[in-house]
A and B are shown apart, each in its own frame.
Chain A
Amino acid sequence: MLGLGKKDTTLLIVVAVLTLCAPFILNPFPAGSAMAQFNAGYPDLMQRFVIFGIFAVGFNILFGLTGYLSFGHAAFLGVGSYSAVWIFKLFTYNVLPAIALSVVVAGLFSLLIGFVSLRRSGIYFSILTLAFAQMSFALAYSVLSNPKFNLTNGETGLQVYTDDPQWFHSDRLPDLPHLFGLSMRATHTMHMGDWSFSFNTGYYLCAVVMLLVFYLAIRIFRSPFGMMLRAVKSNQQRMNYTGLNTRPYTLAAFVISGMYAGLAGGLMAAMDPLAGAERMQWTASGEVVLMTILGGTGTLIGPVLGAGFIKYFENIFSKINDTVLHGWFGFLPDGLEDVMVFIVHPFIGKGWHLTLGLLFMLVVIFLPGGLVEGGQRLARWIRGRRAEDSRRKTEPAE
């Protein structure tokens, strides 16, 4: 279907069903219950899941296929956000032109950075991309925000003001990013007994975009182009002596993944019409590397899983505090309760980085293929058990 093989079609359908039903799947606990804090089905977070999923899927096209590890991809995301906000300021709150421009500008920007950085490989390439991203950060943070020429609005971040021109804006339209009048913030909440589920326009826009670009990523992975990229990773020498020019292949991969990042940045601005320099910082670039490795480098679904995993931790674990812990361990005798809270305390709240760091280490050491490898092992184990079970049933007892 859609020019995909059977396995890929199944994968795409599963991902589509999961993203479209996410408001249900991510809110498994009744709204008032103690477990409700583990619910992730609120619009803000769901949007972040898919947006960072897009970012990581794009990053994986570069890193997973060619092996070139960019430490500066957040720069493209930031550029995408700035471009989108400029469309909001100058022309219209309609998100389509904003997103389109984010992709185009990020593509041009990554063409420039990629052209220079790809002259080196390995660690030197990584350092070059990092240097470029930090330069972009500095430009956005201070250089390009002086009174004469204010492109980024510095520390405050770029946002839409009431005296901005917004030439194509009219009073009939919502005063927020919208899709032909349909506000991105519009949310329909459905109550079913104690449960409540939120269906947010912005989330569904992001989800549809993600499905489209995920489909595109599958096509790229299965194309001759994708095969050439894997060949670049495997043996550049053989590529050259086979009559292939590796440079344009890697540059094309770099630009495609830069455009994915720009798309993510544009969507971020479309959900919340703001753009700040911190989006371009090296920690943000590092985060997408973690997402990809955690989920499974070079796999299709891995980066999406990694992105979801990290964003879940960032938003859910960070909200657990000592009061919550006391609630959980309340059934224990007082002294023991305090000890338990004391032990768990460093891993929650602001300590979520610690938990994530430990998990990351465990995954890298025991599951070098990331969460995807974990899933595969689990599946193999279950299949093995089942085969054993059926064998036992058919074999007569001794």
Chain B
Amino acid sequence: MNLDLIQKIAQVNLLGRGGAAFPTAKKWEMVKNEPGKQKYVICNVSEGEPKVYKDGYILENYPQELISGILLAMKTIGGSAKGFLYLRKDYYQKYQEKFLKIIGSAPIEIFCEPGGYLGGDESAACEAIEGRCTEPRQKPPYPTQKGLWGCPTLINNAETLYYVDKIFKNSYKNTRLYSVNGNVEKSGVYEFNVDLTIAQVLKENCNFPKIDFFVQVGGGASGRILLANELDQPVSGAGSITVYDQKKTDPYQLMQEWSEFFVRENCDKCTPCREGTLRIREMVAKKKLEVKVLQDLFFVLEQTSFCSLGKSVPTPFYDLLTKVMGIKL
């Protein structure tokens, strides 16, 4: 049977590997069906969450495949598509030359991301490439409809496009990349089947801790906190597992790191996220947690934040406070 690439992607049910797990075929279809001569493909390598390294791993080990994936996307969505390789600053410094050589005369431009985490937000990436401040845009319109300079734009994570190349070559084996780190013997990036549970991933690479521990899964800041008895589920988000020693980890220190991260990396646009993260940081620094205030802040962060960054802030705090610190919220 002669399937086109989008059908092939749909058949293996490839989901976006940036964290949101949106069906890749559907996204491609949307951009393909948008009218318009000029279209864009952005390969997103902003990898903003701490403790996630898998996109960097692709840049290091599979640059050819990545560029091939971008070119396939450009060809498939039609129009005279142009590509952007959107690199986090340190990745840009490290890999720019290598990629320039691989890209050669292909219409792909390498772009150095200015901001931090929010640069990873799809619409914020568009703002950045257009030379504005990295703030998320009001949606709709989605980037698939009106992205870069108002043109239909396909934004995919590096890992997604790497696997597109594999699918095209019929060598995709239903795998994904896992970043495993923290209190483990052998931290690193591993490729396993997408359906593995967290416990299985840890066991497969002989990293299953022998100590009392908890893990953070799906991102080193906004990921969920899970206890040792909750590991019988697949790895979510950006595919990271960070192991923490239950006895030696200072929860305040951990929360301090998260809140620093959110305060630094958010765009400060909306009230709950700008002010909420600041107030959380303040409370954590003073080690004076007021339950009522935390409840209020979590409520507005989750319910009223402008973008998914703000909405995701309460998750790790809530988990840590209730599961590890035993605070009733």
- Is A bound to B? no
Residues of A within 8 A of B (CB): none
Residues of B within 8 A of A (CB): none
